Amino acid sequence: MPSYLGAYEGNYGRSASERLKKFDRSIRSCIEQSLNDWELIVVADGCEDTWLLRHKHMDLDRRVRFVRIPKQRIWSGVPRNTGIHSAGGVYITYLDTDDQFGPEHLASLVESITKAGSPALAITDDFIYDPKAEQWVRRIASASKQNTIGTSNIHHRRELGAYWPEITYRWPAMGYDHDLQFYRHLLTMAEPVHVDGGHYYVMHIPRTYDL
């Protein structure tokens, strides 16, 4: 989980608002997982506010660890690469500070990935809120459509040695393109397997939701 709790340049959408509440909500969603065998690495991206919160969350659950790095440019791969290099688990998965896991997210991932033969690279769908239907709906992960493959969908073995590429971006464009570039990098290393598990809720898309 890369974390920068300050305001983004240009006020990058709703994701830049109420960041502390969203940060706490995201970490809480990981702590409340039914699966016990996990670690959450929070990378403080030059953010003193994030770093000062480390005792609050680490005292609550020792599986939450904080790592501090100098501030990187937006869409830099350094924060996520720092998390990968700091991890000790078999699989790497991602949680953004403005999203959250359902309570069975990690357990269902482990079950579905195991059933699929424990592939090096697994892809899952995520969930977004449909205000018209007033319910959460599954969003199918697809690298063939814009903005439909991101950190919420990607799970890979740590032993792959994958890394997030450094690319020059035009602000405020790109966004999910960074995730797509990473996914394309993963495709050079492993064949993806689309599995059914996962309960990842993309919270920055709905216009209204409960904090």
Superfamily holding 2-201: Spore Coat Polysaccharide Biosynthesis Protein SpsA; Chain A (3.90.550.10)
pTM confidence score: 0.88
Please report the sign of the dihedral spanned by the C-alpha atoms of residue 104, residue 105, residue 110, residue 115: positive
User: How is 171-201 classified by DSSP, letter by letter?
Assistant: TT--THHHHHHHHHHHHTT--EEE-S---EE
pLDDT digits (tens, 9 = 90+) for 10-36: 545 444 678 888 999 999 999 999 999
- Domain ranges in the chain are 2-201
pLDDT digits (tens, 9 = 90+) for 83-120: 999 999 999 999 999 999 999 999 999 999 999 999 99
> Which of 42-46, 140-144, 145-149, 199-203 shows the lowest mean pLDDT across its residues?
145-149
Distance between CA 193 and CA 153 in Å, rounded?
A: 11
